[in-house]
Structure formats: structure tokens, C-alpha cells
Amino acid sequence: MLQGMSLACVRGDRELFTDINFSLEAGGLMQVSGPNGSGKTSLLRMLCGLSNPAAGEIRWCGTAIRSLGGDYLAAMTYIGHLSGTKDDLTAIENLRISSALAGSEINATQANDALRYMGLGGRETLPVKVLSQGQRRRVALARLLVCKTALWILDEPLVALDVMAVQLIQELLEQHLKQGGMVVMTTHQEIDITAVSIMQLQLA
């Protein structure tokens, strides 16, 4: 279970949000929405442990994530708004390195299979710099196929994707939820996903 307890976020002299509370259980999806500058990405970075809330606490399975350290990171996969790929590396190299950095070693065959599933067949060995923005996004999202984490935290995962890719990612998210996983995501697009529970968290 992922819990947010009275969370607040301050940037400079501006309070982005305050008193945010939620509880996300296995099989649950939480969609975070709000206008630009409302703190959506800031909240996701807090949930990843990349920044601390100005007030409140984030708990994983009842324990504050600051106390869990690597144990929490091993249970979570974060994919940010930017694809985070390296231009001069191939799609396979990018996927293998990003997976290794996240603590999940995969071989070339596993990376190749994941990229083909994501519709990148024939482009696996091309440097990412020659791929379109949508294809780069697919490379980043291919990590979801090879990670073994329960909690996925995704910042605008559908950005730059075409209709077929959006459907593919929605199916992947739904399968993860059916297996008892959890998803926290931001998106400006309508989503069509079945989950045990779907929670809307609106930031002002």
C-alpha cells in the first residue's frame, strides 16, 4: 500500500499544494491531474523519494519511505516526463543500461523482445538520436516490460505517442493492475483502463 499523509509542497515562496491525502492499494490506479504548475511532477518526485514534502509523510506498506531506503526503490519504477535516453546509444543499449541502473539486469534478447513488443522492431540497433520523439518514448516505456516492481510512477507516459502506442501502453498498465500492481500517473489524455480501484487526485 502507498499512502500520502497530509502532504504539502512549496517552491520558492509559493505553496503548490497542501494537505494531500490518499491511500493506494494493490490493483489500484491513481491519476493525478491539474493545470500546469499545480505540482503534479513535484508530487510524483516526492513519491519516488527524489524530493521531500514540505510537510507530511509518504508511507509504503505502513513505513515511511525515508526509513526504507533501497527497499522502497527496489519496489518502484519511475519514468519521468522526459524520456531520459542517451542519443548516441542504441535502443537496446538504452534499455539495458536504464534497467541495470534501476537494479534489473537484462540481456540483449530480453531487451530486443521488449522493444519489438513496443513496436520498435527493426530499430533496436539504431542510435536513439535518429528516432522520432514517439519512438524514444517507446524505448523509455519498454522498461515496464522488463521490470519486476509492484509500483509504477509515470509522468505523462502517453505524451508523443500515436493512437496504437497509447492503446498498447493502456493494455500494459491494465495487465500490471490485474496482477496486483499499482500505478500512479499524470496524463492530459483520456485513459481507458480497468482496475480494482481508480482514484482521481486533482491538484488546484
Q: pLDDT tens digits, residue range 3-19?
A: 999 999 999 889 999 99
3-state secondary structure of 128: helix
Per DSSP, helices labelled H in the chain are 40-47, 65-68, 70-73, 91-101, 108-117, 133-141, 143-146, 163-178
Task: Measure Cα distances from 60 to 21, 35, 43, 69 in Å.
Answer: 14, 27, 15, 11
Report the CATH fold assignment for 1-75+150-204: Rossmann fold (3.40.50)
Q: From 65, 172, 198, 70, select the one nearest 118 (Cα to Cα).
A: 172
Q: Which three cell numbers stand for residue 10?
A: 512549496
Whether 118 has a pLDDT exceeding 90, the answer reads: yes
For residue 56, the tally of other CB atoms under 10 A from its CB is 17
Whether 188 has a pLDDT exceeding 90, the answer reads: no
CA angle in degrees (0–180, nearest 5) for 56-62-66: 55
- pTM beyond 0.75: the answer is yes
pLDDT bracket for residue 157 (50, 70, 90): very high
Whether 189 has a pLDDT exceeding 90, the answer reads: no
Q: From 78, 169, 153, select the one nearest 117 (Cα to Cα).
A: 169
Domain locations along the chain: 1-75+150-204, 83-148
pLDDT bracket for residue 204 (50, 70, 90): confident
157 Rama sector, left if φ>0, alpha if ψ -120 to 50, beta otherwise: alpha
Whether 190 has a pLDDT exceeding 90, the answer reads: no
pLDDT attached to residue 83? 83
pLDDT attached to residue 1? 95
Using a pLDDT cut of 70, give the percent of the chain over it: 100
